[in-house]
Amino acid sequence: MTIDSRDELITALESDAESLESAVSALPEEAFERGVYEHGWNARQLLAHIAAIEWTYPRLIERAEQRTAGDDVPQGGGAGFDMDAYNAKQVARRDDLPVEQLMTEFRRNRAATIDAVRGADEALLAQATRSAGGVEGTLLDVLISVTVGHVRDHADDLLRGAGSD
């Protein structure tokens, strides 16, 4: 699927949220305690990561809105930012949360992402930016990569790791 506009991104964000819901509901409860990801995370911890990181995506748009003409491409996360440490901390903060609570957090954060994208001007989406993880390109391209691509990849990790491929 090629995404070339704000409206197409919104459609993909909505569709991917539904796909994640389907993937999570397809897993038996015991599957959430199995290791599924390279950081040694089990499925519940990977879901915690998905829910936690989603809140950061509207901030990409906010940063782009705050830029003034002539600024360098914004450096997401700042110099010395350790993405792995940040992710581990966010997952650990949610270590005792049940799956449904993680999904509630994801839904809330995904709705905020969709609202932020919906409110973004098309010209803003054409600005150069960089995510905290170092993804560079237009704001639209970065959003596609970190929102759509990220959740799709991790939904696949959940299913594959839990043996539901």
DSSP result, 83-108: HHHHHHHHHHHTTT--HHHHHHHHHH
Does 110 reside within a domain? yes
Does 1 reside within a domain? no
CA distance 53 to 106: 9
Q: Answer left, alpha or beta for residue 80, where phi above 0 means left and psi between -120 and 50 means alpha.
A: left
CATH number of the domain to which 121 belongs: 1.20.120.450
**What pLDDT tens digit does each residue of the chain (165 aa) get?**
689 999 999 999 999 999 899 889 988 888 888 777 776 788 899 899 999 999 999 999 998 888 744 555 454 555 567 888 888 899 899 998 999 999 999 999 999 999 999 999 889 999 998 888 888 999 999 999 999 988 888 888 888 766 654
Does 27 reside within a domain? yes
Could you count the other beta carbons within 10 Å of the beta carbon of residue 47? 28
Number of structural domains found in the chain? 1
Does 78 reside within a domain? yes
> What residues make up the domain containing 93?
6-161
Does 129 reside within a domain? yes
Does 138 reside within a domain? yes
Does 150 reside within a domain? yes
pTM score: 0.86
Q: For position 101, what pLDDT does the model report?
A: 96
C-alpha closest to that of 51 among 22, 10, 3, 93? 93
Q: Which two tokens stand for residue 142?
A: 């970065």
Does 118 reside within a domain? yes
Exposure letters 129-141 (e unless 16+ CB within 10 A, then b) = bbbbbebebebbb
